């Protein structure tokens, strides 16, 4: 496995792989890898022959400087995990390599109005900008994003379409802990009690699924039931429980087409998110977590 910090060297190595006829798979990360990231690499391998992972904690997407400075880091462990997962190239630039007096931003309107966009001003613009940069540096054939960050995944999918990036995007289902908590680098901030209680988020999605399967389609009633379930975990604050249309990410009053139920909850100062995608198939309902 090659570990490179310079854009030029990353490009050279990828060019060499492409010249051997290999397709380039790309998993962007902010490091502190967990099984969720490694699953993205597994999926990428099914679609490509050369695996690139970026590890870069992208300051410009943190609306809260404290969240940035406390973001967990362990590069040596990350590299060991990436190597074991079969990654060919880790691109881990420093901030000076990525940003020099940056004036350019990429934004996707409407899709970022609600959900995390409402409580994290500037966050998505920072995400779109760094992903555009990484796409132009890596020039992947395929790139894999986790469903856990559903608003990110759907709006990057739209960005790829709108700007004609020559990249195939795949959104991979969320990988979970034994009890159902979505894997996240931020879970390490939870103490034992909060960690136990945090399963209420997953349970609230399960509760929504029960209601949907039983024929409930009213967003208000589904959200009320979810809120009750979340509150059983005594969170410090519920940021949102939202039901939105998949393509537009705008709230819906009634679940009728492809939709997303998304939840964001604070345990202490740690903000946890989770979601499920609802699809209607052959008269039935399919929920993807």
92: left (phi over 0), alpha (psi -120 to 50) or beta: beta
CB of 248 vs a copy of itself, minimal distance in Å: 9
Residue among 172, 10, 145 nearest 91 (CA):
10
Helices 7-19 and 123-138 cross at an angle (nearest 10°) of: 50
CB of 267 to a copy of itself, least distance (A): 33
From 107, 177, 227, 245, residue interacting with a copy of itself (rule: CB under 8 A): 107
By three-state DSSP, how is residue 241 classified?
strand
Tokens encoding 240: 């949102």
CB nearer to a copy of itself: pick between 109 and 178:
109
Work out which of 16, 163, 213, 288 binds a copy of itself, going by CB under 8 A.
163
CB of 38 to a copy of itself, least distance (A): 27
Is residue 147 a contact point for a copy of itself (CB under 8 A)?
A: no
Residues whose CB is less than 8 angstroms from the CB of residue 8 and which lie 6 or more positions away in sequence, other chains included? none
Q: Name which position in 108, 190, 230, 263 contacts a copy of itself (CB under 8 A).
A: 108
In whole angstroms, the minimum distance from the beta carbon of 179 to a copy of itself comes to 37
Among 120, 133, 194, 271, binds a copy of itself (CB under 8 A): 133
State whether residue 34 is helix, strand or coil.
coil
The window from 157-165, 174-182, 207-215, 232-240 that contacts a copy of itself (CB under 8 A) reads 157-165
Active site residues: 37
First-residue to last-residue Cα distance in the chain: 32
Report the alpha-carbon distance of residue 9 to residue 37 in Å, rounded: 24
Tokens of residue 190, six digits:
């939870």
By CB under 8 A, which span of 27-35, 81-89, 133-141, 267-275 interacts with a copy of itself? 133-141
Total number of residues that touch a copy of itself (CB under 8 A): 28
Q: Which of 102, 224, 234, 250 binds a copy of itself (CB under 8 A)?
A: 102
Instruction: Say how far apart CA 193 and CA 174 lie, in whole Å.
Output: 23
Residue 264 engages a copy of itself in binding (rule: CB under 8 A): no
- Using CB under 8 A as the binding rule, the residues of this chain from 7 to 26 that contact a copy of itself are 7, 11
CA distance 3 to 212: 47
| Contact range with a copy of itself by CB under 8 A, out of 162-170, 214-222, 236-244, 276-284 | 162-170
One residue of 129, 152, 219, 270 binding a copy of itself per CB under 8 A: 129
Neighbours of 47 (CB within 10 A): 16
What residues contact 182, with CB distance under 8 A and at least 6 apart?
36, 148, 174, 175, 176, 201, 202, 272, 273, 274
Using CB under 8 A as the criterion, which residues of the chain lie in contact with a copy of itself when the complex forms?
A: 7, 11, 100, 102-111, 128-129, 132-133, 136-137, 139, 158-159, 161-166
């Amino acid at each position: 496995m090659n570990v490179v910090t310079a854009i030029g060297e990353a490009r050279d190595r990828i060019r060499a792989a492409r010249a051997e006829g290999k397709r380039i798979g790309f998993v962007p990360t902010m490091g502190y890898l967990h099984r969720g990231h490694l699953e993205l690499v597994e999926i990428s391998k099914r679609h490509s022959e050369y695996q690139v992972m970026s590890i870069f904690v992208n300051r410009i997407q943190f609306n809260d400087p404290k969240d940035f400075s406390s973001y967990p880091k362990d590069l040596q462990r990350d590299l060991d995990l990436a190597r074991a997962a079969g990654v060919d190239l880790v691109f881990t630039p420093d901030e000076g390599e990525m940003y020099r007096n940056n004036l350019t931003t990429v934004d996707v309107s409407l899709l970022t109005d609600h959900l995390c966009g409402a409580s994290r001003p500037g966050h998505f613009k920072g995400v779109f900008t760094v992903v555009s940069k990484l796409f132009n540096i890596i020039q992947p054939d395929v790139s894999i994003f986790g469903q856990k960050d559903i608003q990110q995944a759907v709006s990057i999918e739209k960005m790829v379409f709108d700007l004609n990036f020559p990249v195939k995007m795949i959104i991979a289902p969320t990988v979970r802990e034994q009890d159902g908590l979505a894997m996240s680098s931020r879970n390490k901030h939870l103490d034992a009690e909060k960690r136990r209680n945090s399963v209420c988020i997953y349970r609230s999605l399960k509760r929504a699924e029960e209601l949907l399967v039983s024929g409930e389609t009213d967003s208000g009633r589904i959200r009320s039931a979810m809120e009750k379930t979340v509150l059983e975990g005594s969170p410090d604050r519920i940021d949102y429980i939202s039901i939105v249309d998949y393509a537009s990410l705008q709230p819906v009053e009634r679940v009728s087409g492809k939709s997303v139920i998304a939840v964001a909850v604070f345990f202490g100062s740690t903000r946890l998110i989770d979601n499920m995608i609802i699809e209607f198939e052959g008269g039935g309902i399919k929920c993807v977590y």
